[in-house]
Structure 1
Amino acid sequence: MKRIVRTGLCALGLILVTQTMTRAVGGAVKEAPWKFAVLCDTRSNPCVDPGGGAQGVNVAALGKMASAVAAEKVDVVLVPGDVALGNGYGCTPPTPGPNSPESQYQLWRKVMSPVYDSGARVLPVRGNHEMDRDAVMSDWSSCRKRVPVESRLLDAYRKVFNDPYIPKNGPENQKGLTYALPHKNALFVGFDQIVDQFQVNQQWFDRVIAKDKREHLFVFGHYPAFAVKHKDCLACYAPARDRFWDAIGAAGGSMYFCGHDHLYDRAVITDSRGHKIQQVLVGNGGAPFSHFPGPYGDKRVAGAEHLENVYGYVVVTVDGAKVSAKLMVLDVQSGAWRNADAF
């Protein structure tokens, strides 16, 4: 009888293991498929309410996204900047100033509670609205650097987004802001592009991807590498941007996620060695919508999909060596989500 019980327990254990892992050809163990999501630019419109106003966050749009993303059962959520309004900007007629940065960030976390409660790791990086008032008052057609002048924004950001799973392994002056996080068979690298405006720390990135070679590399930052609507992006330093793009391609990366422009745009840019890398701009998270009639500023940019005036997020599925993604957009009238892009 004891032998029968042991045999039954062993069989049950084997079934449980095979439910989460499959065995590939040659006996190698293959992990079960897993997912991550991308959303950003969830800030409010300070000049219009509804739209978040002084709260700093588009609560209506983000709340619907948070519930939908939690239902996707993702492991990780990438947030490439502009989670909240920050210091806002001038409105005509004038409107009350936004709430304090800390209260805006805390509100964002509260609205995102379905995602946090699901156990997903939420990985934000800063955007220009996490910097200073000058950043949002300036000429968006310019590459003029903005000098951060208000430490209270950074202090509030560090206080609120200080989850223990966010690594402190970035460059010395960007600890907790720029970081690399290994997860299963992938490496996530998030860049703060505010400390060094419109740039990444290439030496640090080179060391990271040389040391941690995984099956997949996913990179994200607030600014597009190749300009879409706004000119202030990594294209301001084109030679450095090209080195960054080549490094992604050489390390096997195929996607760079960003925001800044308040729309959805997916394009393919081939690096100098022939690697095709997708720039996936997911800036339609709740901020006032943008319009981009084209063309792109760089002839190497090959547009793949472009959508405006819809809130949305991206879900990426990693199944061994295979990666697939979908864009989900919201029908505001019905409250239903639909698949609007697949790649």
Structure 2
Amino acid sequence: MKLSAVFAGLLFCSPLASFSAEADPVVASFATVGDSRAEPSNILNGQDRIWLQNTKAWSRILREIQQQKPHALFFNGDMIMGYTTNKAELNRQYAYWRGMVTGLQESGTYVVPVPGNHEVQEKFKEDGKTKKIARQSNEDSWRENMGDLIVDAARWKNAVGSHFSAFNPRNAPQIGSADKISTDQSQLSYSFDFAGVHFAVINTDPVGHDGHAPVAWLRDDLAQAKARGAKRQFVFGHKPAYTYFYKAGIELEGLDKFPEHQQAFWQVIEDADASYFCGHEHIYNAVQPTKNKGGKAWQVMVGSGGSPFSADVGETSLPEDRFYAWALVKVRASGKVEVDSYGFDDQYGPTKLIKHIDM
């Protein structure tokens, strides 16, 4: 073993390292991942053909997050196949997913849901073309199935051991606002504080304005949190601001379909010194998209919770592009943020640390 490795091991176990951790303790921690739903397919087992869930991958991720014991899990959308306005079908898929996360919720980690396009959109054919359009009835189904988690003070306190603050159920993008909102967005976009840290959830596919984030609302929300003294700010949405081009020729997948909107959104993230966690592409990727222009904000894509990988075999040279992966985030009292991303391959081999980021 190299001397540096020995020294690092001694330092980690030393009184000095212990003192350092005690002097700057972790005050808030969370895991984040998205996209666990499965595609209808004959290769699914009998169970997953019914519920359209990658039960094997998602249940293993849940077990490993449970062992890490974060305060919360932010799930960044597409927990169900959805894409239908059939309420019975939606309710059945939601119920299975809710059953899977119950153990985590009851063992000290609060589950915070983020809407994805599969939850709020309907997919259909029209004039020979496939269309995906957000529906008000699907937004209603989201609230009916996820609303009790957004955000229950008593259950949070019971799971986490201390209270959150600054949650207002009426604090959502308003109909007729600058964000071109046409339907009730309560429990679709919302925010709260915990341990001096601000968390904002956004719906990236509101009815009538698919593929757009509520930029004006988010700007105001983050500004108010900063005025309250939030030491760090995190935003969670489904669609990425920046598509991950793991190979040539990929179509735009996120807010970058509308470049002016994408730029306005990312400017809000940069101005607030925030970090953005998302999914939608079924892959792991962490990047500072505007670093070459002086930007510091991170986009961490963790759409790797079990859905079919975006990258097929041979389409990428990075093994982690075909990992089932999640991120574990720790915020220390000083405001320092550490992000460790973990994952395992499609053969369900050992879990590996994919990347460490100091934000």
TM more than 0.5: yes
Instruction: Please tell me whether residue 148 in structure 1 is matched to residue 134 in structure 2.
Output: yes
| Alignment gaps of 5+ in structure 2 | 1-18, 153-166, 175-183, 245-249
Partner of 1:171: 173
Post-superposition CA distance 1:99-158 (Å, at most 9, x none): 7111111111111122111232222221111123327x79xxx9x98433471x333321
Change (3 A) 1:115 1:185: same
Contact 2:173 2:214 in 1 (8 A): yes
Change (3 A) 1:306 1:217: farther
SS in 1 for 2:353: strand
Contact 1:263 1:309 in 2 (8 A): yes
One of 138, 142, 146 as aligned partner of 1:157:
142
SS in 2 for 1:68: helix
| Aligned pairs for 1:241-320 within 5 A | 241-253=262-274, 255-270=275-290, 274-291=294-311, 307-320=320-333
Instruction: Please tell me whether residue 116 in structure 1 is matched to residue 116 in structure 2.
Output: no
Contact 2:203 2:237 in 1 (8 A): yes
| Alignment gaps of 5+ in structure 1 | 1-18, 24-29, 89-96, 296-304
Change (3 A) 1:331 1:205: closer
Q: Indicate the larger mover: 225-234 or 186-195.
A: 225-234
Q: Tell me how many residue pairs correspond in the alignment.
A: 294
- One-letter code aligned to 2:356: A
Change (3 A) 1:54 1:179: same
Partner of 1:215: 231
Deviation at 1:306? 7.5
SS in 1 for 2:269: helix
Change (3 A) 1:273 1:308: closer
Deviation at 1:331? 4.8
SS in 1 for 2:233: strand
Q: Indicate the larger mover: 234-243 or 331-340.
A: 331-340
Change (3 A) 1:205 1:271: farther
Partner of 2:44: 49
Q: Indicate the larger mover: 161-170 or 103-112.
A: 161-170
Q: What is the RMSD of the two structures over their aligned residues, measured on CA atoms? A: 3.1
Question: TM-score, normalization: structure 2?
Answer: 0.73
Contact 2:101 2:111 in 1 (8 A): no
Hey, what's the Cα distance between the residues in 2 that align with 1:128 and 1:98? 16
Question: TM-score, normalization: structure 1?
Answer: 0.76
Greater Rg by CA = 1
Hey, what's the Cα distance between the residues in 2 that align with 1:324 and 1:268? 15
Post-superposition CA distance 1:204-258 (Å, at most 9, x none): 11211121111111111111101224413111221122122111111121x2111
Post-superposition CA distance 1:32-82 (Å, at most 9, x none): 443210110000121131392230221111111111111111111111110
